[in-house]
Structure 1
Amino acid sequence: MNTTDSPAVDPGGRSAMIESRSIDYVPDDERHGKVSHQGPFWFVGNFQPFTLALGFVGPSLGLSLWWTIVAGIAGIAFGTLFMAFHATQGPVLGLPQMIQSRAQFGYRGVLLPLIGTLFTFVGFNVVDVVIIKSGLQSIFGWNPTIVAVVITLIAALVAIFGHDLLHKTFRVLFWISLPLWIVLTAGVIFGGVVGTTAPGVGAGGFSVVAFLVQFSVAASYNITYAPYVSDYSRYLPRSTKPSAIIASVFVGASASPAWLIPLGAWMATYLGASDALAGINQTGNAVVPVLGAILAVVSTLVLVATMGLNAYSGMLTVVTGLDSLRSVNPTRSLRVVTIVVLAAAWLVMGLLLTNATTALNTTLLIMLYLLAPWTAVNLTDYFFVRRGHYVIADLFTPNGIYGAWSWRGLTAFLVGVAAEIPFVDLPFFVGPAARAMGEVDIAFIIGLLVSGLVYIAVTRSLDVTHELALIDAAPSITEEEKR
């Protein structure tokens, strides 16, 4: 793969501000990232209305405030654990997440999990558009179509400029958002907001089904971030300690949902909120006049920045897919065109979609069904089979040691997805096992276990000594591969 469109070729000027790297290797002399940036980055990634809306799920199913909080925080902790371990792969390999997955699925076989990851990135942005356009219309009366177009353009531009601008944008929004949310939360805790629900009315109770739905939706939220993480840690130095980045990502990505899900559950239970931005506006204005409107706008900006993150990783997924079919030169032009096409796709779907709550629940569950088997295979391979040792050059050719199609990874993935089907609970399909358990959905847990165990079983015959020998023979990336 020829990737000659490197930063060194284009010093200074506007084009130099646009990241040139996409699916290609990031050499050591370009590794300028900091572990200290990872925590705030992922904290802000979840510090937005989409996260708050997760707290609406339990109360909408009759779950009490406290059981919603327990299920939500437990789900977030579970899902973030998988996400955080993926972060270690970026500094070690200097590659986007899904390029590394070629080692498990093959150069072309990776197309199968790529379908699931692309669905995730586009799906998140479709729902984000619905949340923002409906929320700002209800608060300010703004035209939803114009809102959808403007936020799509902003998100696409942030994604086009790339990795560094995304990190800087999230750090700025962290310091703008934090004090506003502190004031709003303090107002709720200390009685500054009076709920509209009478005592005992709509307070909900407990049911296994509602609890597990809330748990699953929360778990899926950060499990579906798993295909992103290395995309934003691959500029970290190779010497980055795994424990440091795991801790930074876990704390950052779990702290903000652990804050906002309970807040969302309170709004749903005591204010009857069903729209995240409207709930933020109502609650904030009750604490301090105009606070709600300001926080709604800031929260929208955070959500738009997160859409940029989705667009960036979606671009990496599409370019990986194209390169898996036929080798491509991952230039800036290809990055820009890909992002524009993705933006047009999510904008059209976001304009057609109107029910954000239904879309949120269904989209997150489908993402979870597809990505749980992938994350099990990827992490099992990285930590237990190959133990972080990969021949990077062979990830860019179908004729390398990983081949075009890797039956081991594909088998484990497909068996895991098939094993989930009896346990799924969706509006349009309920599996027989889920129905027998009272429509309790544990499909993603089944997918994780089955795919991980199957991959361990099928790799028992895999001899990695040849790979280790190739790594020893070529300990550093070549100058051609740097380009």
Structure 2
Amino acid sequence: MSEKTPTTSLIQFETRHILPIPENERNGSVWSLFAIWVGINMLPLTVVTGAIASGSFGLSIGWSIAAILTGNLIGALGAALHASQGPHLGIPQMLQARAQFGYLGGSLLAGIALLMFLGFFASILVVAKDSLVAVFPWIPGPPLIIALAAVGILIAIVGYDLLQKVMTVLSTLIAIAVIVAMVALIMHPEATVQSPDAGFTAQGFFGMLAIGITWQLAYAPYVSDYSRYLPKKTGPAAAFWATYLGLVLSSVFVMILGVLLGAANPENPLAALGEVLGPLGMGVLVIFGLTAAIINAAELYSGVMCALTAVQSGFRRVTIDTRTRVITTVVCGVIATLGALAGDSDFMLVFQNFVTLLLSVLIPWSAINLVDYFIVRKGEYAVYELFDRAGGRYGRWNVIGLGTYAIGLAAQAPFMISGIYTGPLAEALGYVDVAWVAGFVVSGVVYLLAVRFSERRRSRQLVLEETPTR
């Protein structure tokens, strides 16, 4: 069930894939975990997301920052709570879904998360390409997307050790570039003067707040993929704070840069770097574009963890080993790259709809997982039974988990606001996005009540079976 990991090379080639990480191979640290989550947000995509507040929603710079800060502070709580599970269990985040949804049911959730990871991989490719094309307009877009994708695929093939070492270096480099760009923009206040119409709207504020929450919860399905490499003695609190602070500090910081650029050029915030800052802005764009290709490997790496979880559940004859992981990485990378090439022309519209859909599918899973881990089981899981094809104590299909997930999705439907679908109650609420609140609360409460009812019913049944009959 395990493969021996080499320990002599400078960079260790990953061989554990979705298996539990033994204590003697947990070479992560609190600092490296913090650096991963700082670096992973230092992307041009984060800039574009922040620009939605001042560009698409028309919020003033002050209200944009308030919405971004509030949304990220709330959403990162969920992501960091998921991350705190990693040192204790030592397994990828979505593999743990088997405990809430069953051996086969968990593969459905892993499949949903896989689509999310491939979507982000594709989105980051498009925005990284845009950053470089803004500086080098003579470079054709499609070959550039393919080249950037190849970098991410190669790093993901090597695995966690290379990823965490690269991210530790890049997080510092890009942070310096972002600070320089932000200071330079502040020194050009005339460039970020907004129209008189910019200000506060409930729809814009809560819409951006929901995007901030979504942005952070999008990390929830893979935070334990990295915290599982922390030694168990590190404890949940250290994993929580390294993840929380890394995610919030980097996201808010880079999104604020996006707010300023969105005010300068609502149509193309990345181009504003070059337009306002000249050669300095061009240099920042090059750093953004090149480093995004490397950071993007994290999206693909965790997507592959989900794909392997689903493959192991659905195909008995497939052995999950290093060869399978490498092949899966290439296949997933190619699929996501084709998606980037296909969706390049209407990126902003596609991306905003993607983010809205992402929120609706992640919220119920997050609530169910957190309630199950912290309230129902209190962190006590039989890890190796999660690999039992017969389901073990968790079963092949968990009706309570899957049923609650469906209820959570349904609870959001009346309140949803997107370009694809708008719920019947959205207009009555002034198009303020509260779907995430309904989805999280309903999913968490229904799951807890259903589990408690099932436990009481099982206890009564045992009492009846043990009571002697006359």
The TM-score normalised by the length of structure 1 is: 0.89
Distance change >3 Å, CA 260–CA 13, structure 1 → 2:
closer
Question: Are residue 297 (structure 1) and residue 286 (structure 2) matched?
Answer: yes
Q: Which amino acid aligns with 1:18?
A: F
Question: Are residue 380 (structure 1) and residue 368 (structure 2) matched?
Answer: no
Determine the structure 1 residue equivalent to 2:467: none
1:170–1:302: 8 Å Cα contact kept in structure 2?
Answer: no
1:65–1:203: 8 Å Cα contact kept in structure 2?
Answer: no
Please list the CA deviations of residues 166-222 of structure 1 after superposition, one character each: whole Å capped at 9, or x if unmatched. Answer: 101111112222222222222233x2x25346x562560111111111111111001
Spell out the pairing of 1:210-359 with structure 2 (5 A cutoff). 210-269=204-263, 271-285=264-278, 290-327=279-316, 328-353=318-343, 354-359=345-350
2:353–2:420: 8 Å Cα contact kept in structure 1?
Answer: no
- In 1: Cα distance, 2:156 partner to 2:427 partner: 42
- In 1: Cα distance, 2:203 partner to 2:165 partner: 41
Spell out the pairing of 1:49-128 with structure 2 (5 A cutoff). 49-59=44-54, 60-128=56-124
2:362 corresponds to which of 355, 371, 376 = 371
Spell out the pairing of 1:122-141 with structure 2 (5 A cutoff). 122-141=118-137
Shift of 1:283: 4.3
2:415–2:426: 8 Å Cα contact kept in structure 1?
Answer: yes
1:180–1:291: 8 Å Cα contact kept in structure 2?
Answer: no
Distance change >3 Å, CA 200–CA 323, structure 1 → 2:
closer
Shift of 1:242: 1.6
Q: Which amino acid aligns with 1:195?
A: E
- In 1: Cα distance, 2:143 partner to 2:213 partner: 33
Q: Which amino acid aligns with 2:384?
A: A
Determine the structure 2 residue equivalent to 1:157: 154
Distance change >3 Å, CA 202–CA 22, structure 1 → 2:
farther
- In 2: Cα distance, 1:209 partner to 1:424 partner: 12
Shift of 1:139: 2.4
1:45–1:302: 8 Å Cα contact kept in structure 2?
Answer: no
- In 2: Cα distance, 1:21 partner to 1:195 partner: 53
2:2–2:16: 8 Å Cα contact kept in structure 1?
Answer: no
The TM-score normalised by the length of structure 2 is: 0.92
Q: Which amino acid aligns with 2:334?
A: A
Shift of 1:356: 2.3
Please list the CA deviations of residues 382-422 of structure 1 after superposition, one character each: whole Å capped at 9, or x if unmatched. Answer: 00000000011110113200010111111111100111111
1:76–1:218: 8 Å Cα contact kept in structure 2?
Answer: yes
2:425 corresponds to which of 426, 433, 441 = 433
- In 2: Cα distance, 1:311 partner to 1:148 partner: 15
Determine the structure 2 residue equivalent to 1:413: 405
Please list the CA deviations of residues 78-122 of structure 1 after superposition, one character each: whole Å capped at 9, or x if unmatched. Answer: 111100011111110110011111110000011232232112101
- In 1: Cα distance, 2:297 partner to 2:128 partner: 14
1:116–1:367: 8 Å Cα contact kept in structure 2?
Answer: no
SS at match of 1:405: coil
1:179 corresponds to which of 176, 182, 196 = 176
Determine the structure 2 residue equivalent to 1:481: none
Determine the structure 1 residue equivalent to 2:462: none
Unaligned runs of 5+ in 2: 459-470
SS at match of 2:28: coil
2:185–2:277: 8 Å Cα contact kept in structure 1?
Answer: no
2:165 corresponds to which of 168, 173, 177 = 168
Determine the structure 1 residue equivalent to 2:28: 33
- In 2: Cα distance, 1:108 partner to 1:284 partner: 53
1:113–1:370: 8 Å Cα contact kept in structure 2?
Answer: no
Decide which moves more: 129-138 or 27-36. 129-138
Determine the structure 1 residue equivalent to 2:195: 201
Determine the structure 1 residue equivalent to 2:449: 457
How many residues end up aligned between the 2 structures?
452
Please list the CA deviations of residues 214-251 of structure 1 after superposition, one character each: whole Å capped at 9, or x if unmatched. Answer: 11111100101000100011111111122211111111
- In 2: Cα distance, 1:80 partner to 1:383 partner: 17
Distance change >3 Å, CA 196–CA 283, structure 1 → 2:
closer
- In 2: Cα distance, 1:183 partner to 1:4 partner: 47
- In 1: Cα distance, 2:455 partner to 2:415 partner: 35
Decide which moves more: 364-373 or 49-58. 49-58
Unaligned runs of 5+ in 1: 467-483
2:143 corresponds to which of 133, 138, 146 = 146
Question: Are residue 44 (structure 1) and residue 33 (structure 2) matched?
Answer: no
SS at match of 1:427: coil
Q: Which amino acid aligns with 1:351?
A: L
1:46–1:257: 8 Å Cα contact kept in structure 2?
Answer: yes
Percent of aligned positions that are identical: 33
Q: Which amino acid aligns with 1:361?
A: Q
Determine the structure 2 residue equivalent to 1:7: 5
